[in-house]
């Protein structure tokens, strides 16, 4: 048992890395540690970055983090990056790739980069990511950038884990507007068309603009309504990154004024609680399956003498 973890992980990176692993793997030690850290969380601004594979998210993160650090020379902001990798932990290839693409930030003492393999654990990826983010929050990081591949579920989940969501697209990646529409409007705070050096950029920007205009009719917006800006970047050459950083700071500022920030922080907590509750329920389920009296209830349902609704009521009573 490590004494005074909250203080120590602020200064000891190896300890921080170890604690993160325990918390990520949801070990008993990890849960104990998070228990101690929890009251020190709630300060970090969490930035989620999602979008199709290969859109340039990691390249953009690398440049964005540098920009945010440079923006804040005087008061030395600390930034952590969590790259959630969808590939198997056994290949390791893509994780290494992320490390290389984020090379220029990995050596800065105010920046901490962490890759997570997403293992396909039952609903656990989002939870593990969130637990890691809480640890970094307690360790005093001002910004936590979470990169995840935008594939179905994880795209929705990232919104529940972040204060600012950046959706990255690249021109000519074949994701038609219809498909892009699903979910994007609900989750994107900032839209980025990366690889603006490639043909098709204008068309991609136009398509997104139309979508935003339909979603946010001008007459309904007011000073406190955030309308997602559409930015163009060539992350590879660091072009347009200053605007992304500027919009992130603007969004952070506005959401702190209009209450959006606090609402999202509460949503994040709700996600965490929901996961824990569901986990408890899964435990119940395993117990039911082993328990004799539960099996009698099952038998009645097999025989159609009891409805599933009644059965659950009885099981919960036991």
Give the interface with ligand GTP as residue ranges (CB under 6 A).
53-59, 94, 101, 149, 194-195, 197-198, 234-236
235 binds, among Mg ion, ligand GTP, none (CB under 5 to 8 A by kind): ligand GTP
164 binds, among ligand GTP, Mg ion, none (CB under 5 to 8 A by kind): none
Which are the contacts of 265, defined by CB distance < 8 A and separation ≥ 6? 42, 163
- Least CB distance to Mg ion at residue 98 (A): 5
- Least CB distance to ligand GTP at residue 54 (A): 5
- Is residue 245 a contact partner of residue 68, using CB atoms and an 8 Å limit? yes
198 binds, among ligand GTP, Mg ion, none (CB under 5 to 8 A by kind): ligand GTP
Locate 81 and state its tokens: 């990056």
How far is the C-alpha of 299 from the C-alpha of 306, rounded, in Å?
9
How far is the C-alpha of 162 from the C-alpha of 82, rounded, in Å?
12
How far is the C-alpha of 24 from the C-alpha of 44, rounded, in Å?
18
Classify 47 as helix, strand or coil: strand
Residue 233 vs 252, nearer CB to ligand GTP = 233
Site size for Mg ion (CB under 5 A): 2
Q: Which of 85, 96, 105, 109 is nearest to 12 (CA)?
A: 109
58 binds Mg ion (CB under 5 A): yes
- Is residue 300 a contact partner of residue 311, using CB atoms and an 8 Å limit? yes
241 binds, among ligand GTP, Mg ion, none (CB under 5 to 8 A by kind): none
- Least CB distance to ligand GTP at residue 113 (A): 13
Residue 234 vs 252, nearer CB to ligand GTP = 234
Binding region for Mg ion (CB under 5 A): 57-58
């Amino acid at each position: 048992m490590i004494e005074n973890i909250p203080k120590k992980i602020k200064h000891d990176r190896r300890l921080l890395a170890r604690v993160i692993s325990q918390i990520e793997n949801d070990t008993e030690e990890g849960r104990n540690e998070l228990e101690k850290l929890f009251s020190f969380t709630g300060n970090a601004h969490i930035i989620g970055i999602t979008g199709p594979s290969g859109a340039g998210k990691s390249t953009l993160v690398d440049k964005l983090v540098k920009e945010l650090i440079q923006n804040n020379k005087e008061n030395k902001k600390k930034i952590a990056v969590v790259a959630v990798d969808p590939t198997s932990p056994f290949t390791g290839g893509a994780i290494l790739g992320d490390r290389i693409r984020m090379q220029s930030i990995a050596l800065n003492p105010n920046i901490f980069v962490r890759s997570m393999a997403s293992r396909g654990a039952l609903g656990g990826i989002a939870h593990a990511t969130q637990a890691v983010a809480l640890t970094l929050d307690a360790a005093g990081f001002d910004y936590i950038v979470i990169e995840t591949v935008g594939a179905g579920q994880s795209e929705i989940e990232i919104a529940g884990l972040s204060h600012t969501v950046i959706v990255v697209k690249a021109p000519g990646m074949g994701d038609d507007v219809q498909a892009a529409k699903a979910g994007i409007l609900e989750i994107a705070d900032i839209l980025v068309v990366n690889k603006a050096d490639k043909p098709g950029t204008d068309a991609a920007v136009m398509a997104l603009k139309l979508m935003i205009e339909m979603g946010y009719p001008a007459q309904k917006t007011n000073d406190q309504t955030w309308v997602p800006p559409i930015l163009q970047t060539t992350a590879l050459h660091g072009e347009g990154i200053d605007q992304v950083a500027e919009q992130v700071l603007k969004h952070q500022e506005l959401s702190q004024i209009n209450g959006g920030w606090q609402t999202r922080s509460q949503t994040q907590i709700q996600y965490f609680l929901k996961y824990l509750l569901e986990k408890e329920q899964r435990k119940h389920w395993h117990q039911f399956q082993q328990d004799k009296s539960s099996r009698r209830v099952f038998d009645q349902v097999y025989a159609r003498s009891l409805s599933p609704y009644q059965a659950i009521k009885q099981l919960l009573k036991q």
